[in-house]
Amino acid sequence: MVRLVFFTVAAIVLMTLDARFRYAEVIRQGFALAVYPIQRAALAPIALFESASDYFVAQAKLMRETTQLREERLRDAKDLITLGALQAENEKLRQLLDSRERSGRTAQFAEIMYLGRDPFSRKVIIDKGTQHGIEAGQPVIDVNGLIGQVTRVHSLVSEVTLVIDKDHAIPVQVVRSGLRGVVFGSSDGVTMELRFTAGNADIQVGDVLVTSGLDGVYPPSLPVASVVRIDNDATSAFARITCAPLGGPGQNRELLILSKTEASPPYPADAPTAKRPPRGGRSKGR
């Protein structure tokens, strides 16, 4: 008990003296310096945990931002692609309008729905029919040239026979020389043939063929095909001329249906022949 009281009194005296004269400041600084490494070692796990937590939080934030930026980029790319497609479609529509003005006829826009199912014919189905005023026999063009002719009409859709169909024939004229002929579709369904042309005719590879308008179906000067190959056979009087169509469903989906050609005037009637008196006869006089 005496010891407790002694040490308590001594502690109070020392604290009072230290508070007044600061004689233990050096001792405290020495103890603090000695204990500092132990404090840092004790706090290291906490600092490491906080650093790791901050790192993973930052990584998760960066991943979210990267994902968000990627989604925004995809949306922007989609918008750009859509914008490019709309610009291309508008350009084609403007070219179709120019084609209509050059043809000098009334016309109606149409769009290809799908290709015909018959593998032996070249036809397409368009989204216009009798309810839209479409009739069989109307020419069909795209921005590059003649596509074909409406051959069958239903209520809401129509069937167009393409110029590359093997049974399709079109009177044409060579732009450069004015040579006339008839171009047919071929059996391969890709090229066309200018038939019944003499081997010495004025025609060259690269010549452009346009409609002559002599058939009364197609208006004149519609681009049809270009000559890609000429084969002369010594055993035949005609040259074999292969042509490539200028227009086609594989190039454009938007079409223009032209109005029919106005009916041609009728052929003039034969003039009546005057009756002649029989040879050797004489007219009777009074």
State the CATH number of the domain containing residue 215: 2.40.10.340
Three-state SS for 193? strand
Within this chain, do residues 119 and 253 fall inside the same structural domain, yes or no? yes
Beta bridge pairs of residue 242: 193, 229
Proportion of the chain above pLDDT 90, given as a percent:
26
Within this chain, do residues 56 and 125 fall inside the same structural domain, yes or no? no
Domain that residue 35 falls in: 1-103
Within this chain, do residues 118 and 143 fall inside the same structural domain, yes or no? yes
Burial (Cβ within 10 Å: 0-12, 13-18, ≥19) of residue 153: buried
- The answer to whether 92 and 100 have CB atoms below 8 angstroms apart is no
Within this chain, do residues 93 and 213 fall inside the same structural domain, yes or no? no
The two most distant CA atoms of the chain are separated, in Å, by 197
Report the range of poorest mean pLDDT among 20-24, 72-76, 266-270: 266-270
For position 81, what pLDDT does the model report?
54
Within this chain, do residues 111 and 233 fall inside the same structural domain, yes or no? yes
Within this chain, do residues 51 and 149 fall inside the same structural domain, yes or no? no
Three-state SS for 10? helix
Within this chain, do residues 55 and 97 fall inside the same structural domain, yes or no? yes
> What pLDDT digit, counting tens, does each position of 44-102 carry?
788 787 788 888 888 888 888 888 887 777 666 656 655 555 566 566 666 666 655 55
Three-state SS for 8? helix
Last residue of a domain, one of 54, 77, 103: 103
Residue 91's identity, in one-letter code, is: E
Within this chain, do residues 139 and 248 fall inside the same structural domain, yes or no? yes
Place 105 in a pLDDT band, splitting at 50, 70 and 90: low
Q: Is residue 264 part of a domain?
A: no
Within this chain, do residues 25 and 145 fall inside the same structural domain, yes or no? no
Number of structural domains in the chain: 2
Residue 182's identity, in one-letter code, is: V
Nearest to 149 by CA among 247, 17, 280: 247
Q: What is the mean pLDDT of residues 239-258?
A: 85
Q: Is residue 266 part of a domain?
A: no
- The answer to whether 247 and 240 have CB atoms below 8 angstroms apart is no
Judged against a pLDDT cut of 60, whether residue 129 lies above it is answered with yes
Sign of the dihedral through C-alpha 163, 165, 168, 170: positive
Within this chain, do residues 157 and 65 fall inside the same structural domain, yes or no? no
Judged against a pLDDT cut of 60, whether residue 236 lies above it is answered with yes
Judged against a pLDDT cut of 90, whether residue 255 lies above it is answered with no
Three-state SS for 123? strand
Q: pTM for the whole thing?
A: 0.59
Judged against a pLDDT cut of 60, whether residue 274 lies above it is answered with no
For position 221, what pLDDT does the model report?
85
User: Which tokens hold the place of 166?
Assistant: 């093997």
Average pLDDT of the residues of the chain: 79
Within this chain, do residues 130 and 151 fall inside the same structural domain, yes or no? yes
Within this chain, do residues 89 and 114 fall inside the same structural domain, yes or no? no
Last residue of a domain, one of 49, 74, 103: 103
Last residue of a domain, one of 77, 103, 129: 103
User: Which tokens hold the place of 186?
Assistant: 């071929």
